Structure 1
Amino acid sequence: MKSPLDSAALNAALEDVHRAGLPGLFAEVRDGDQVWRGAAGVADVATGRPVTADMRHRVGSITKTFTAAAVLQQVESGQIGLDTPIGRYLPKLVPGERGDAITVRMLINHTSGLAEYLPYAYPSLKAFPVAADTRPQSLDDHRHTRFDPAELIEMGVTAPAVGTPGGTPGVYSNTNYLLLAQLLEEVSGTTAELCITRNVIEHAGLRDTGFPAGPYVEGPHSQLYEAWFGMIDPPRDYSVFDMSYAGPSASLISTVTDLNRFFGMLLAGEIVSPSSLAQMQRTVPVVSQEGKTIDYGLGLYPMEGPGQGIFWGHGGTVWGGGALAMTRADGKRQMAVAVNLQRWNGFDSSGKPQPHPIDDALAALYRVAMYR
C-alpha cells in the first residue's frame, strides 16, 4: 500500500525550518497506519551532535492536556464536580467570594480571571511573554530555584484579576493549572504527578513520558536554546532547569511518538469517556500568552485546516524549547513537532515581535504534515 505521506516533502520542509534559523527540530506524522519520522539540525550547537526523532523533550503546556484528562477522570468517578466552586475543595488557596465563584471548569478553560504568576516569580519578565520591557535575567536567577506551588498560586490569586469568573474572553494563566494539580492531590490522596502518571500516562502505555525528578532531562535529548526576543545572543542553553516553576501545568517530558499516541487515544475516547471528551471540545474565546484570541476547550484547542477538517491538540514552550501536537478529529492524521529554540522573534520599534523566517518555515511544515 502506498503511503499517503510524502516523505520527501516532509524531509524538505523540516530542513527548511532548520535553514531558516532553528538549531534543531524533529517530528512524527501519522496517517492511519503510515508513519513518518524525521529530524533536522543539531541537538548541541557546540559539538554538532545531531537531533534524532526519538529524543525526549520538554513539551511545556502540552502537559495541560494530561492534567485536564486526569481531572475529568475524577469527574467521571464522582470525586470532582466540573461546575463545583474550587473554594469547596481548596478554601485556603482560593478563599472567599472568588472561591465560591470560580468553578473547576473555569480553571481548565482559563475563564477564572486569575492572573498569571510567572511575572511575580520571575520579576524581570514583567508581562510575560510578549513585552518589549521584559528582561531574561530571572531565567538565570532561578535556574535551580525550587518553588513551592502554594506560593506560586498565592502570587496568581493575590495579583490583580484579569477578568471576572466565567467571563470571556478568558486569559490563559498557569495559575489555573497549578490549582488543578492541588485539586488532584486533594481528591486522590497522592501527588498530582503520580495521579497523572498512573491514570493517564501509564493507562495510555506511554513509555517515554514522565515528570522530571530533578533539573535534568533523562535519556537522549537536545539542548534547549533561549533567545528571549534577541536579548540573549547567542541563544543560551537552558536544558538544565528546575521545572518546579511549572509543575503539572508545563513540566512534562515526552517524545513525538508518545504525544501522537496520547492524542490519538484521547480523541478516540480511550483516555476519558466520550462524554468527557465532548466537554473537552466545548470551546470559549481565550487570550493566549502571545496576545492572540483562540478558541480553548478543557485542555484542548482546535485548529482548522483547508479541506481537512478540524485538528485538536495543544502547544507548549519552556525556556529554550517547544512542541506542538495536533490530531485530526477523526484520529487519522496526526503531527507532533519538537523544537530546540524559543522566542526567536525580535521586537520592532513599537514593541511587537517581528516576523521571522522560522515562522513561515514552520507554517509550511505544518501544511505539508497535516493538509497534504
Structure 2
Amino acid sequence: MTFRPDTARLAETAQQLMEKYHLPGLALGAVIAGEPAWQEAWGWADIAAKVPLTPGHRQRIASISKTTLGLNIMALADEGHLSLDSRIGDLLPDITFHGPADDLALRHLLTHTGGIGEAPNAGDLGKVFDKLFGESDPDTPLAELYADGITIEVEPGTKWAYANHGYLLLGEIISRLEGVPLPESLQRRVFEPLGMRDTDLNDVPHPDLSRGYSQADTPADRRLLDLLGIQLESDEPEDEHNLPGKYVRTWGNGGAGGVQSTVPDMLTYASALLHGAGGIVRPETFAAMTSPHWQPDQRLNGWGLSFAVARPYGHRRFGHGGAAFGGWNSTLAVFPDLDAALVIHVNLWRNDYDSAIVPPLTQAFLGERDPEPPDVPIDQRIIDTAPGVYELASNTPLTDFRTRFTPGRVLVSAANGGLMIRGQRGPWSEGAPLTAADPAQPDLLLVKNGAATERVVVLFDGAEVSGLRFQALFDLHRNPAAQPWP
C-alpha cells in the first residue's frame, strides 16, 4: 500500500509554527511514492521588500551539503581512486596533523569519528565560528588556511564528534583527485546528472536567495547571537521579531556547508536518493552510506557515510540537517521504507530549530503524534543510584565543544517518586522529568526536548548507575564528588 502523507495536516502544522515562532518564511516539499509530489510555502522571502516566499527560492542548505560531498567521494572510491581505509596523511601530505593521526582514514572523516573537533586547534576555541562562517578567499590553498595544522584529539574511530573541518578536508581530497575546484566537481558528479538546475556550491549571494533572519526577542537570545558571533545587517527587526542577517560565506572550500538549493531541487535529490542515488554510486555503496557505521546503541541515532540515520516512530530514516549563520535552517529526511521524503526550508536561524520546528512537521508528515510515555515506574535501581551530577569524563575540549555548550553538565535528582534532569544550558535548564520508556527495557528513559521526545540510555557499573548516553551521541558520567551548580 502506498504511503500518502496528510498534506492538509502538514500545511496546518506549518501555519501554526509560522504563528507560534514568528517565522519569516517556511517552505515544505514532499516526495510520495518515490517522486516529487507536493510543495508549498508561507511567509516572506524578504520581509521589508514584501517578497512572498516560494518553494523556488534558494536556501543555504548548510550541512546538508555534506551528503553531496559524500556521494562525490564515494563515486571516486567506486572508480578505484581511493578507499574507506585510505590514510588522510597520504592523501593530504602537506597538511600537518597533531596527535594520533597515523591511522586517520577516509571512513573516519565521513562518519565524524576522526578525532577532529569544532576548531582545528585549542588556540582556535575562542574564535570557533570564525573558521566556519568567516571571511576567507576560496582560492587560498587549504594548507595555508590550516598553517597551524589540525589536532587529532582522540584516537580515530573511538569517539563521535561532529567535525565540519573533516569535511573541508574531504572537499580538498575531492578537488585534488578530480583536478578541478570542488564546486565544479559537485556540479559534474551530482547536480547536473540529477537535474538539479538551481543548486550549486558557489556560496555567493544570488538574486533568488531568500533573505536570512535571526531573532533576539529576549536578552538570552541576544547573548546567544553575540556568543556565536552571528552577524546582522541591522539590529532593528524588519517586523517585530526578525533581524536581517548578514551573508557570510562558509570558510575554506565550502565543503562543510556552502551549497544553495531550492525545494524543487531538493525533492529531485531526495527522489534520487530513494532510487539508489540515481546511479552516482553503486547500489551496494549507497546501501553502505545509509547504514549505521557509528551507533553505540541501536535504540539511539547513528551515523552512516555522510548521512545521519535514525528510526523515528519505527520508520527508517536517513538524511541531514543544516544551519547557516545569518539566517537559514533546513532539513532533508528520507524514509526509504515508505518511499517518501520531507524537505523543510526556513529562512531563519534558530538554535532550537531541531527540537521546536522539525518534530511537529515530521509527526504531521508521518501521521504520528508525540507518544505518551507508558504509565510504568522507573526501575528502582535507577531511582536509588542515578541522582547526582553528570559531566564529561575526559579533558577533550575540541571534540566536546558542542556538549560543553549545551547541555554542559546535568543534574539528576529524585522528585515525586521519579527523576528530574536539569542541564546547565539548553532545553533542560529549567528541569524536565525523566520517564520510563518500556518496562522490558529498564535502562531506557525518555525526556522531552522542546516538541521532541528523546531517548536516554542508562549506563551501569555493576548495580549502580554510572552514566547517561544521549540521543545526540554523547555520554555524561556521574561524578560523586561534583556539587550541583546554583
TM-score, length basis structure 2: 0.63
Q: 1:1-372 alignment to 2 at 5 Å? A: 4-21=4-21, 22-32=23-33, 33=35, 35-95=37-97, 98-117=100-119, 126=128, 144-146=135-137, 148=140, 149-154=142-147, 157-159=149-151, 161-168=152-159, 170-212=160-202, 215-216=204-205, 218-227=206-215, 230-231=221-222, 232=225, 234=237, 235-238=242-245, 240-245=247-252, 247-269=254-276, 270=278, 271-285=280-294, 294-307=301-314, 309-319=315-325, 320-330=327-337, 332-345=339-352, 359-371=355-367
Query: Would the aligned equivalents of 2:172 and 2:253 in 1 still touch at CA under 8 Å?
Result: no
> Between Structure 1 and Structure 2, how many residues are aligned?
337
Rg larger in structure = 2
Query: Would the aligned equivalents of 2:24 and 2:348 in 1 still touch at CA under 8 Å?
Result: yes
Query: Would the aligned equivalents of 2:135 and 2:251 in 1 still touch at CA under 8 Å?
Result: no
Residues 312 and 362 of structure 1, relative CA distance in 2, 3 Å threshold: closer
* Residue aligned with 2:344, SS: strand
| 2:391 alignment counterpart | none
Structure 1: state its 5+ residue gaps: 129-137, 288-292, 346-355
Query: Would the aligned equivalents of 1:14 and 1:38 in 2 still touch at CA under 8 Å?
Result: no
Q: Which residue identity does 1:310 align to in structure 2? A: R
Structure 2: state its 5+ residue gaps: 226-234, 369-486
Q: Which residue identity does 1:205 align to in structure 2? A: G
Compute the displacement of 1:154 (Å): 4.8
Compute the displacement of 1:296 (Å): 1.0
Compute the displacement of 1:122 (Å): 8.0
Compute the displacement of 1:152 (Å): 4.3
Q: Which residue identity does 1:20 align to in structure 2? A: K
Distance across 2 between alignment mates of 1:335 and 1:96: 41
Q: Which deviates more, 178-187 or 298-307?
A: 298-307
Structure 1, residues 268-287: CA drift from partner, whole Å, max 9, x if none?
Answer: 22221111112212324489
Structure 1, residues 316-372: CA drift from partner, whole Å, max 9, x if none?
Answer: 111111110111124621111101111355xxxxxxxxxx8x944542111112346
The structure with the largest helix share of the pair is 1
The structure with the largest strand share of the pair is 2
Query: Would the aligned equivalents of 1:114 and 1:173 in 2 still touch at CA under 8 Å?
Result: yes
Distance across 2 between alignment mates of 1:124 and 1:222: 31
TM-score, length basis structure 1: 0.80
Q: Which residue identity does 2:107 align to in structure 1? A: R
Q: Which residue identity does 1:117 align to in structure 2? A: A
Residues 8 and 299 of structure 1, relative CA distance in 2, 3 Å threshold: same
Query: Would the aligned equivalents of 1:267 and 1:277 in 2 still touch at CA under 8 Å?
Result: no
Distance across 2 between alignment mates of 1:201 and 1:359: 30
Structure 1, residues 153-202: CA drift from partner, whole Å, max 9, x if none?
Answer: 456x434x44321113x111111111111111221111122111101111
Compute the displacement of 1:103 (Å): 0.3
Q: Which residue identity does 1:158 align to in structure 2? A: I
| 1:350 alignment counterpart | none
Distance across 2 between alignment mates of 1:286 and 1:47: 46
Q: Which residue identity does 1:25 align to in structure 2? A: L
